Amino acid sequence: MMIDLGKKNVLGVLVDAVDYEAAVMRIVAAARAHRPFAVSALAVHGVMTGVQNASHRYRLNHLDLVTPDGQPVRWSLNWLHDTRLPDRVYGPTLMLKVCTMAAAEGLPVFLYGSRPQVLEALARNLRACIPLLVIAGMQPSRFRQLSPAEKQAVVETILQSGASIVFVGLGCPRQEVWVYEYRQSLPMPLLAVGAAFDFHAGSLPQAPPILQRYGLEWSYRLFQEPKRLWRRYLPLNPLYLWLLFLQKSGLRTFDADEAEMPLVELRYG
């Protein structure tokens, strides 16, 4: 049974209460129709980037589809809104499911972000597990802000490739900024899928299934990269739980409309 209960307020960030089937169907429908469609899969850190920054909250709340990537985000939807979602919609798994459907329907994909060697391994592995998938093009990140001319060149490269879907792996929150800013220029789904590029390329191991099931994937990643990730997880996870308690109890209201439209493009690339 397909589940799509619409957007729900989690600390002022609008997250879609969907399952994999509904998410894939919406993405592929937009690809078929050549329609702009910005997507992200948010875990706790992704939600908190919106909680702590009003401009970024505006971006997130103007994406077409935001899936509950982390188990704690799914639990939050169930606790706050009684959505009864049976599973999260995890970015790396969503990417594979979309690629499988894209291959079946002859919809070419484009890979944007990360490093050349990661993209090459990612493309090789995707073709091995989904032989009919057409990868129309790839472009690595420049790891800096792009000029307006460079941004337009990216748009032209993707349009000329013939791609119907773009997967973006720039890391959170850069990839969410990217899909928000490019949405008006690219008539196709743009999916911010985070670490999916590294996972599927084989350059970064995924957490064991039992840790994923119980919402402890963050601890595995923290163990792997403590210097880079401790600021992401150690302060934000307890704060997330505290703010959820305040929202659930009614002690604090988180208004999704209390956001500021970004005045300047960041143009991450």
Q: Is 86 exposed, middle or buried (0-12, 13-18, 19+ CB in 10 A)?
A: exposed
Judged against a pLDDT cut of 80, whether residue 240 lies above it is answered with yes
Judged against a pLDDT cut of 80, whether residue 230 lies above it is answered with no
Give residue 15's pLDDT.
98
- Greater confidence (259 vs 31) lies with 31
In angstroms, the CA 238 to CA 257 distance is 25
Q: What is the band of 235 on the pLDDT scale with cuts at 50, 70, 90?
A: confident
Q: What is the band of 140 on the pLDDT scale with cuts at 50, 70, 90?
A: very high
Prediction pTM value: 0.95
Judged against a pLDDT cut of 80, whether residue 223 lies above it is answered with no
Give residue 232's pLDDT.
76
* 220-240 b/e (C-beta count within 10 Å ≥ 16 → b): ebbeeeeeeeeebbeebbeeb
Give residue 214's pLDDT.
78
In angstroms, the CA 8 to CA 80 distance is 9
Mean pLDDT, the chain, integer: 94
In this structure, of 31-45, 58-72, 173-187, 255-269, the range with the lowest mean pLDDT score is 255-269
* DSSP label at residue 171: -
Q: What is the band of 168 on the pLDDT scale with cuts at 50, 70, 90?
A: very high
Query: SS3 helix, strand, coil % of the chain, rounded to 5?
Result: 50, 15, 35
Judged against a pLDDT cut of 90, whether residue 216 lies above it is answered with no
Give residue 213's pLDDT.
84
Give residue 194's pLDDT.
80
CATH number, span 4-201 = 3.40.50
Percent of the chain with pLDDT over 70: 100
Q: What is the band of 206 on the pLDDT scale with cuts at 50, 70, 90?
A: confident
In angstroms, the CA 225 to CA 232 distance is 11
- Greater confidence (263 vs 23) lies with 23
Judged against a pLDDT cut of 80, whether residue 23 lies above it is answered with yes
Give residue 108's pLDDT.
98
